[in-house]
Amino acid sequence: MNVIQLNSDMEKYIGYPYDEVPNPFDDGEPNYAKHFQKEFEDSIKEFGIEMEYRYQADMYKSGKYKDYVIMALKKRAEIFDILSSFRTQGAKDGERETYYPVSIYCSNCNKDTTKIMSLSDEMIAEYKCSCGHHGLFDFNTDYRCKLSWKIDWPMRWMYEGVDFEPGGKDHASPGGSFDTSCVISQKIFGHQPPIFQGYEFSCYFPP
């Protein structure tokens, strides 16, 4: 098995959007995300499958999810209650009031190491970042953000009208991502969850 030793400088890109991380592999792809997208798409071609792709970085940055990000923010207390119903430990005091189902990329350091401090009725957030930067983020016009996984997944079911989706056994476990996202899909986005098929993981090491 070939092992590629990555440059230690890559560590500074932890927290960046994947499509803005430089490509450490010598294959000509423009960024880290495109390297793995190309690897996947080439594999699919070997099966003779014609695919239409949706690149989530493009979808978010183009504003196509804007209305649903705002919807999730307006319903963040309901989302918190759903998430809490699947937790084994109770919420801490004040946790519900300070919960936001979205991460913002800092305008100073470009990382998602931010914390929303407040959100106005006009959907303008004040945030602070671990880099020390304090800023404002307007969800009506700024799209450099991402919903948390268990909210992002059902949002995309609704947006794309997904009827069937397989997933790894980590998502399929009782009380896991799929079960949680099903409730969010129905109660927050008003969408019937897709039929789901869990699968096992396997490793293949070529000779």
Q: How far apart are CA 156 and CA 181, in angstroms?
A: 11
Question: What does the pLDDT read at residue 54?
Answer: 94
Question: What does the pLDDT read at residue 1?
Answer: 39
Q: Which structure tokens are listed for 55?
A: 């690149």
Q: Which structure tokens are listed for 121?
A: 């009725």
H or E segment at 205? none
Question: What does the pLDDT read at residue 200?
Answer: 80
The candidate with the shortest Cα–Cα distance to 143, out of 21, 39, 56, is 56
Question: What does the pLDDT read at residue 195?
Answer: 96
CB distance 71 to 189 below 8 Å: yes
Higher pLDDT, residue 171 or 156: 156
Q: How far apart are CA 200 and CA 169, in angstroms?
A: 6
Region 65-84 average pLDDT? 98
Region 46-63 average pLDDT? 94
- Which residue's entry shows tokens 């407040």? 118
Q: How far apart are CA 54 and CA 38, in angstroms?
A: 13
In the chain, domain spans? 8-46, 64-198
Res 205 pLDDT > 80: no
Dihedral in degrees, nearest 10, Cα atoms 20, 66, 157, 161:
-120
The candidate with the shortest Cα–Cα distance to 88, out of 175, 200, 198, is 175
Res 6 pLDDT > 70: no
148-174 as b/e, with b when 16 or more CB fall inside 10 Å?
eebbbbbbbbbbeebeebebeeebbee
Q: State pLDDT tens for residues 113-125.
A: 999 999 999 999 9
Mean pLDDT, the chain, rounded, equals 92
Dihedral in degrees, nearest 10, Cα atoms 46, 47, 52, 54:
-70
Higher pLDDT, residue 207 or 191: 191
- Sign of the four-CA dihedral 12, 14, 15, 20: positive
Res 5 pLDDT > 80: no
Question: What does the pLDDT read at residue 88?
Answer: 85
Residue 17: count of CB within 10 angstroms of its CB = 20
pLDDT bracket for residue 168 (50, 70, 90):
confident
Q: State pLDDT tens for residues 87-145.
A: 888 888 999 999 999 999 999 999 999 999 999 999 999 999 999 999 999 999 999 99
